[in-house]
Every structure is written in C-alpha cells, then in structure tokens.
C-alpha cells in the first residue's frame, strides 16, 4: 500500500523520448512515477488510477485538463554564481528561479570564485545544492585551472566528485594542444567538453556584434568569424582525435552551417542555443543598451533565421538558457565596461514557445530540446515520463498569455531585455521527486 501520493489527471503528456503524446493519468509515489494509464470512466472505480492503491486521505490530486505535462525541463547551461558572487545569485535563488521557469534539473558552469576546478569546490556546490536547492544541480567542472587556459584540471578527480561535463565557459580554450588532450579525456571519462567558441585574437576588445549597428553606435565589433573559426578548429580536432564535444550558445548562421555539415559527414557533435539568439538581434543593443550585452553577442536577422532553421532541422539539439545573472551595478554602466549576460531561467519557456506558436516546431520537437536531448548529452537519468523514473515533471499552459515582469523574478538577476514582453506560455507547476516546488 502506498502511503502518500500525487496524482496528475487528464493532462496531455508529451514525452519526446518515447513518442508519447496522449491524455493520460499519472500516479506518483515515493518520489517516482509509479503508474501511467488512460483516464478511466468516472464510475469505473476499479480502474481509476489512485483508487485501488492510495487511501484518499493521503493523496493530492492535480487536474491537468487543458494543460501539457512534460518531463521536468533540463537546463544544461546555467550560471549559479556561488561560491564567490553571491550578490549576483546564490545556489538557493538560482534553484528557485529554475523552479519558477519549469526547470527541474540544471547544470551549472564553473566560472565561480573560486572556479570549480577541483573536487573540493564541486563538493561544496553539491552539498549546498542538496541543502538549499529545490532542483537537481549538476556541476560542470573547469577544463583549465582558474579558467586560465594554461594547465588542465584533474578531470578524473572532478568526475569522481560529481561533475558531469567540463567547460571553461565564459572563456575560450585557445590552446589547441590542450583542446586536443581534453577531447581525448572526454572519451576516457565519458562526459562532454562544452566548448565556448571564441577566437580571442578576433574579439580584440569587441563588445557587440560587428556590423551596421556596431558601426552606427561606434562600438568595437566582434565578428561572426570569431565564433566560427574556433568552431571549425574544434570540429577538425574532433575529426582527428575523437571526443565528446558539445557547442555552447551557437549564435551565427555560419556556426549552424558548420555543425550541419559536420553532422552530415557523420561526425557526432551536439550543440545548443539560447532563446535570446532566436528572439533578438543586435538592434536590441540600440534599444536596451547593456542589458542586451551578452557573449557571444546578439547577431543579425539572418543569423536568427539560420538558428531557427537549425533548431527545425535538428542541427541544434538543445535550447539552454545561459542564465547569467548580474547585479544592477554590473550592468548599469558604460556599455563597453558592463558585464556580459542575460538572465534566462524564468523566460525560457515562454520565449521558446514562440517557436511553437510561429509554427516552426511542434510541442514534442520543442520539448525534446529541453528534456531528453540535454539528458542524453549529459548522460543523466532524467528527461522521461516512465514508470520507475524520478517524478520530475513540468506542467505548462502553452497558450496562457503572460507579461514578463522582472521584478517578480526569483533570480537575484533582473538583467533581461524581455521585461514587459507579452508572450504565450506559462509554467503552472514544477515537480521534483514527486514534490510540487513551484505553482505559477
């Protein structure tokens, strides 16, 4: 006999990992999904999902009629800022923001202070996440000590401590021999190297996309080639030495083409983009100033179109947030001195649903990129609605109209250009291990 349970009835369950898209009832017990079945008729007591197994005093029932239920969303690219930059975000506030955004699992980047380049820091992050975080936190370890690009970290030790990938995100790994060794390590350790593709020589103090807008604003530009040339290097390394490579925050049409061609040649590579790279162009810099400053920078209309095409044809596997919280002081300064980054956890679902409302992606195609695809890339047992699996679920109203209000964000970071935007798609409930951790 189950003693306490959560029942979700009449929801449209979409699980892209098994091609499931059906109105079904779910029984959750002891933090796991226990039963999935077609809704029974009202008088068919024998077959009503909870009737036989759970005493009525011990069940909580959610009626999800008219809503979609998807595997708990996974963000494989979050900046939690703790340890070291707690004034921007803490593990606790970042997890709350994740929950409010429908994410049940997040992978956090290593550019904290100290950097997550050794098992002690990984341990601190995991411990804090367990004590104070309401979602699953998967730390990403650094590739090089202090993100300095000089000396490789002890990746065996990091893996043992619990990191699920390595990345110097925020900085490129310019040294090609270190990049080659890292690729080899990923094969041995069976986790991905997440590459922040940026050719430092070509960036040379650039602060926004190089083009008509940067020239009109008299700001130093970062050419698309700065991203693409590093990506080309990574692809060629991957072809020659092998490895498990994932490309972070794809922002240009040329990058989409390079990844598409690599995949067409049979190379195994994965890639992500973030909502701001398909919802905004560099014109946003004119309108929003430093709030729209991000690295890689917002590009042109042609780039956003190519990214959407890449999402459609499967070239881009994942939509991640690159949630990069900053304080007001970090952003409220001269453009060239302001920090890079946009907060993303609490807007990702509504912004990504634009792709569905525009008719570009089906709901299954969209949520595949926020559930099973990141789970497979990170090799974590998440992203499915299946009996025996963790009851991590997100309930969404894909049509509800919302207005983004950054003052209501759970994140400490309010740095979003989407404030005041009217969007469609609302997170109704976020459930982790059978517990409702957010109700919208």
Question: CB neighbours (10 Å) of residue 364?
Answer: 17
Which tokens go with 318?
């994942």
Of 168, 234, 322, 392, the active-site residue reads: 322
User: What is the distance between the alpha carbons of residues 351 and 274, in angstroms, rounded to a whole number?
Assistant: 10
Instruction: Return the number of the residue (296 or 434) whose C-beta is nearest Zn ion.
Output: 296
Question: Is there a catalytic annotation at residue 399?
Answer: no
Q: What are phi and psi of 15, to 5 degrees?
A: -125, 100
Q: How many residues bind ligand DOR (CB under 6 A)?
A: 10
Q: Which does 346 bind (CB under 5 to 8 A by kind): Zn ion, ligand DOR, none?
A: none
Nearest approach, Cβ of 111 to ligand DOR (angstroms)? 5
Strands 20-29, 32-37: pairing kind: antiparallel
Is 415 in contact with 343 (CB distance < 8 Å)? yes
Residue 295 interaction partner, one of ligand DOR, Zn ion, none, beta carbon < 5-8 Å per kind: ligand DOR
Question: Cα–Cα distance between 439 and 369 in angstroms, integer?
Answer: 23
Burial 261-276 (b: 16+ CB within 10 A, else e): ebbeeeeebbbbbbbb
Q: Which of residues 121-180 bind Zn ion (CB under 5 A)?
A: 169
Minimum CB distance to ligand DOR, residue 170 (Å): 4
- Give helix 301-313 / helix 253-264 axis angle, nearest 10°: 30
Footprint of ligand DOR on residues 339-358 (CB under 6 A)? 340-341
Q: Report the phi/psi class of residue 162: left, alpha or beta, with left for phi > 0 and alpha for psi in -120 to 50.
A: left
Would you give the binding string for ligand DOR spanning residues 177-216, x where CB under 6 A is met?
A: -------------------x--------------------
Interface with Zn ion, residue 322, by CB under 5 A? yes
Longest dimension (CA), the chain: 72
- Please name the residue that has the structure tokens 């008509």: 212
Q: Does 222 engage in binding with ligand DOR (CB under 6 A)?
A: no
CB-nearer residue toward Zn ion: 172 or 383: 172
List of E strands, 165-252: 193-195, 208-209, 221-222, 245-247
Token code pair at residue 138: 């998967």
Complex with Zn ion: residue 172 or 211, whichever CB lies closer: 172
Q: How would you write 402-420 as a 3-class SS string?
A: EECCHHHCCCCCCCCCCCC
Give which of ligand DOR, Zn ion, none residue 252 binds (C-beta under 5 to 8 Å, depending on kind): none
Q: Pick what 111 binds: Zn ion, ligand DOR, none; C-beta below 5 to 8 Å, kind-dependent.
A: ligand DOR
Q: Which of residues 115-134 bind ligand DOR (CB under 6 A)?
A: none
Q: Which tokens in the block code for residue 124?
A: 């601190």
CB of 322 to ligand DOR, least distance (A): 6
Candidates 147, 316, 324, 385: give the one binding ligand DOR (CB under 6 A).
324
CB of 61 to Zn ion, least distance (A): 40
Instruction: Provide the minimum distance between the beta carbon of 33 and ligand DOR in the complex, in angstroms, as a whole number.
Output: 35
294 binds, among ligand DOR, Zn ion, none (CB under 5 to 8 A by kind): ligand DOR
Helix, strand, coil share (%) of the chain residues, nearest 5 = 35, 25, 40
Partner whose footprint covers residue 330, from Zn ion, ligand DOR, none (CB < 5 to 8 Å by kind):
none
Pick the closer one to Zn ion by CB: 155 or 248. 248
Q: Cα–Cα–Cα angle for 407, 412, 417, nearest 5°?
A: 55
**Binding mask of the shown chain, residues 93 to 112, with x at each position contacting ligand DOR by CB under 6 A:** ------------------x-
**Which CB atom, from 234 or from 322, has the smaller least distance to Zn ion?**
322
Between 253-264 and 224-241, two packed helices, what is the crossing angle to 10 degrees? 20
Q: Does 12 bind ligand DOR (CB under 6 A)?
A: no
Which of 82, 117, 168, 169 binds ligand DOR (CB under 6 A)? It is 169
| Strand pairing class (5-15; 59-63) | parallel
Q: Is 170 in the site for ligand DOR (CB under 6 A)?
A: yes
Chain contacts with ligand DOR (rule: CB under 6 A): 79, 111, 169-170, 196, 294-295, 324, 340-341
């Amino acid at each position: 006999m189950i003693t306490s349970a959560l029942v979700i009835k009449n929801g449209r369950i979409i699980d892209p990992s098994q091609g499931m898209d059906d109105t079904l009832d779910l029984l959750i017990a002891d933090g796991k999904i226990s039963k999935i079945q077609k809704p029974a008729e009202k008088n068919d007591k024998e077959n009503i999902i909870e009737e036989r197994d759970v005493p009525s005093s011990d069940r909580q029932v959610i009626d999800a009629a008219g809503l979609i239920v998807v595997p708990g969303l996974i963000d494989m690219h979050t900046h939690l800022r703790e340890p070291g930059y707690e004034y921007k975000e803490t593990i606790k506030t970042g997890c709350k923001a994740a929950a409010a955004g429908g994410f049940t699992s997040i992978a956090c980047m290593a550019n904290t202070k100290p950097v997550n380049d050794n098992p002690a820091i990984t341990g601190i992050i995991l411990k804090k996440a367990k004590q104070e975080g309401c979602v699953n936190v998967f730390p990403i370890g650094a590739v090089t000590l202090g993100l300095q690009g000089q000396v490789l970290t002890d990746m065996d030790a990091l893996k043992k401590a619990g990191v699920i990938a390595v990345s110097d995100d925020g900085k490129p790994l310019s040294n090609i021999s270190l990049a080659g060794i890292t690729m080899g390590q990923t094969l041995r350790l069976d986790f991905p190297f997440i590459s922040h593709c940026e050719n430092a020589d070509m960036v040379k103090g650039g602060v926004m996309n190089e083009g008509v807008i940067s020239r009109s604003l008299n700001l130093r530009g970062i050419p698309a080639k700065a991203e693409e040339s590093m990506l080309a290097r990574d692809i060629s390394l991957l072809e020659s030495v092998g490895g498990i490579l994932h490309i972070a925050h794809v922002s240009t049409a040329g990058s989409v083409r390079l990844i598409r061609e690599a995949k067409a040649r049979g190379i195994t590579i994965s890639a992500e983009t973030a909502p701001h790279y398909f919802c905004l162009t560099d014109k946003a810099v004119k309108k929003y100033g430093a709030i729209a400053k991000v690295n890689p920078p917002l590009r042109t209309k042609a780039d956003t179109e190519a990214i959407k095409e890449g999402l459609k044809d499967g070239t881009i596997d994942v939509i991640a947030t690159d949630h990069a919280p900053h304080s007001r002081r970090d952003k409220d300064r001269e453009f060239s001195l302001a920090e890079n980054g946009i907060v993303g956890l609490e807007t990702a679902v509504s912004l990504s649903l634009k792709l569905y409302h525009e008719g570009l992606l089906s709901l299954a195609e969209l949520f595949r990129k926020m559930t099973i695809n990141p789970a497979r890339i990170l090799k974590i047992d998440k992203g499915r609605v299946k009996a025996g699996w963790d009851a991590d679920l997100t309930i969404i109203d894909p049509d509800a109209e919302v207005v983004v209000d950054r003052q209501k964000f759970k994140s400490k970071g309010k740095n979003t250009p989407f404030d005041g935007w009217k969007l469609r798609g609302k997170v109704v409930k976020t459930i982790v291990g059978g517990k409702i951790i957010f109700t919208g």
